[in-house]
Amino acid sequence: MNSVEKEDTVAVSHWIWFKSAVKRNKAALKALSQPKLETLEDNSPPKYKKLQDSWSCYNNAFCRLFLSHAAVQAVFGFYLNVVFSDMREEVLARKFGFEAVADSAQQRNGDWEELRQFLYKGMLEELQISENRENE
């Protein structure tokens, strides 16, 4: 999904913006993605204790907490720009690992656009998160 063809100047440009946003927000992203030390397995000998995420799955509660941060929203938006830099059906199907199944090309393109809109805005709305992405 992350692949960027060097010849695709639009995708390369989006990748540069994404990479820059990650660097600018590195400390915040690292802090948000670190496992919690208090979630060490209590029944393991100290030598074999493993860090565990404080969440057992990436459910709505986790996504709401994670995506509510402006730094995450900014970086995620730039990442989506990379993913959707080429809206051709065959490119998106390869990146996502599935195909749109509508009968006509127009309907399939509409389905891809609907997915794009959901990932940019609908997902935040569904999770009841106000969009607070930084204007970078």
Tens of pLDDT, residues 99-121: 999 999 999 999 999 999 999 99
Tens of pLDDT, residues 63-77: 888 888 999 999 999
**Residues 79 and 19 sit within 8 Å (Cβ to Cβ):** no
DSSP 7-33: T-HHHHHHHHHHHHHHHHTHHHHHHHH
In the prediction, which pLDDT does 30 show?
A: 83
Q: pTM value?
A: 0.76
Asked whether the predicted pLDDT for residue 45 surpasses 70, the reply is: no
How many Å apart are CA 28 and CA 11, to the nearest integer?
Answer: 25
